[in-house]
Amino acid sequence: MEHFECLFCRKKYPVDVFHPFCPSCSEPLLVARSRRPRAFHLEKELAIEKCLDFLPLPEIVPHLSLGEGQTPLIRLSRTMKKFGLPPLYAKNETANPTASFKDRGTVVAVHKAISLGLKKIGTVSTGNMAGSTAAYAAKAGLRSFVFVKEDTSREKIFSAGIYGPVLFTVRGDYGRLFRQSFEIGKKFGIYFMNSVDPYRIEGYKVTGYETFFQLGSRPPRYIFVPVSAGGHLIGLLRAFQDLTSEGLIKKCPTFVGVQARGCSPLARAFRQKKATFSRFSNPKTIAHAISNPNPPGGNIVLKIVRENGGMILGVSDTEILKAQRWLAEQEGIFCDPASATTLAGLLQLSKKMSFGARDQIVLVITGSGLKTLDDMDTFKVNAQESSLESLANKIETVLS
């Protein structure tokens, strides 16, 4: 039988999607690992079908999928050359149906909702997860409930609202809203598949398996990933732990979690060698998607990153914006500021340590820049004006 598990007190609990937190230590629960025989089915069409044995689902229902996953792993040759880096890749999660990695977790959690006979799902989000949850609810014919912060921009509200959820902009503390959503969920039978939902986290594992196969059935040496609530990093690391326990790899990649310095509770706790983090006051960063002063999966991230021999870094907004621009201009990848923290973190680290010439490095590019245009006042795009008549002359000036 399937169970939830607490990584801290190691106790197992019955599955309860309405309150996936440890009754003893309040930390988020994860799906306990299954001991059944497992294999990949690479001949299948959908990413989740290929990895079904590694997911806590009895079967895949193809019409619940929007075609998430199987995103490109792009070699960043110019970046390698310019900064003298070993083989470097971007796992481009902006290619997902709603333009972020969240779809991978949502599709698994929606399968769970359907198998439990639930008709209502919800999420608390500042952006990407709201759109993803609302889109998959629409596809599955479920009602969705989306709670966003009161100061969420029109563009972000629109990118979730278009799918027709019941949408609330909520005044008040975001951390309290997160906790309250579970009470509301329990009361009204709404499955709130929030950032550290155990099934959502299971879905994120698929990115790890895919990366392994894209590198010719080998793990990269390093993985850089932006961290907010922590669910994504937890899922990715679990994927490589699975590959290790299946005997497919000898060693997990080293994980480097990256936060924006202006809201970096985990980077701070890591630097101070603390086992648990404390709330970050006055968060301020351009990377809104990862600006969570009180991340629910934060203590798990600190624990597993330490056990992994990895690290958590903080990068400045200036470093983030430079990296974002570089990826667009030099590599053709338009990511959001949260994703750009990965390159910013790598460049920061490369000044302090040297990588082996054959160490493969993967940056997980989690979300599209097209969804954060409203954050980008600081960006100067040089659009010149011209009449039709003078256009050719102006081009001549540019080229001369």
Ligand X SMILES: Cc1ncc(COP(=O)(O)O)c(C=O)c1O
Q: Shortest Cβ distance from residue 110 to ligand X (Å)?
A: 17
For CA atoms 62, 4, 174, 271, the dihedral sign is negative
Kindly state whether residue 8 participates in binding Zn ion, applying the rule CB under 5 A: yes
Residue partners of 342: CB distance under 8 A and separation at least 6: 224, 225, 226, 258, 323, 363, 364, 365
DSSP code of residue 252: P
| Count of residues that interact with Zn ion, criterion CB under 5 A | 6
- Considering only 29, 107, 134, 227, the residue that binds ligand X (CB under 6 A) is 227
Q: Shortest Cβ distance from residue 23 to Zn ion (Å)?
A: 8
Q: Which of 278, 275, 258 is nearest to 267 (CA)?
A: 258
| DSSP H helical ranges for the chain | 47-50, 77-83, 102-115, 128-140, 154-161, 174-188, 198-214, 231-245, 265-271, 298-308, 317-331, 337-350, 391-399
Please identify, using beta-carbon distances, which residue of 196 and 349 lies nearer to ligand X.
196
- Considering only 56, 231, 265, 314, the residue that binds ligand X (CB under 6 A) is 231
Distance, CA of 129 to CA of 106 (rounded, Å): 8
Kindly state whether residue 232 participates in binding ligand X, applying the rule CB under 6 A: yes
- Please count the other Cβ atoms lying within 10 Å of the Cβ belonging to residue 158: 10
Q: Shortest Cβ distance from residue 230 to ligand X (Å)?
A: 5
- Considering only 22, 32, 167, 376, the residue that binds Zn ion (CB under 5 A) is 22
| Count of residues that interact with ligand X, criterion CB under 6 A | 19
Kindly state whether residue 106 participates in binding ligand X, applying the rule CB under 6 A: no
Is there a contact between 323 and 256 (Cβ–Cβ < 8 Å)? no
- Considering only 71, 211, 228, 299, the residue that binds ligand X (CB under 6 A) is 228
Kindly state whether residue 76 participates in binding Zn ion, applying the rule CB under 5 A: no
Please identify, using beta-carbon distances, which residue of 22 and 248 lies nearer to Zn ion.
22
Is there a contact between 179 and 192 (Cβ–Cβ < 8 Å)? no
Instruction: Name the phi and psi angles at 298, rounded to 5.
Output: -60, -45
Q: Shortest Cβ distance from residue 81 to ligand X (Å)?
A: 27
Q: Which does 133 bind (CB under 5 to 8 A by kind): Zn ion, ligand X, none?
A: none
Distance, CA of 334 to CA of 328 (rounded, Å): 5
Q: Which does 130 bind (CB under 5 to 8 A by kind): ligand X, Zn ion, none?
A: none
Q: Which does 8 bind (CB under 5 to 8 A by kind): Zn ion, ligand X, none?
A: Zn ion
Interface contacts to ligand X, rule CB under 6 A: 100, 127-128, 195, 226-233, 289-290, 336, 338-339, 366-367
Interface contacts to Zn ion, rule CB under 5 A: 6, 8-9, 22, 24-25
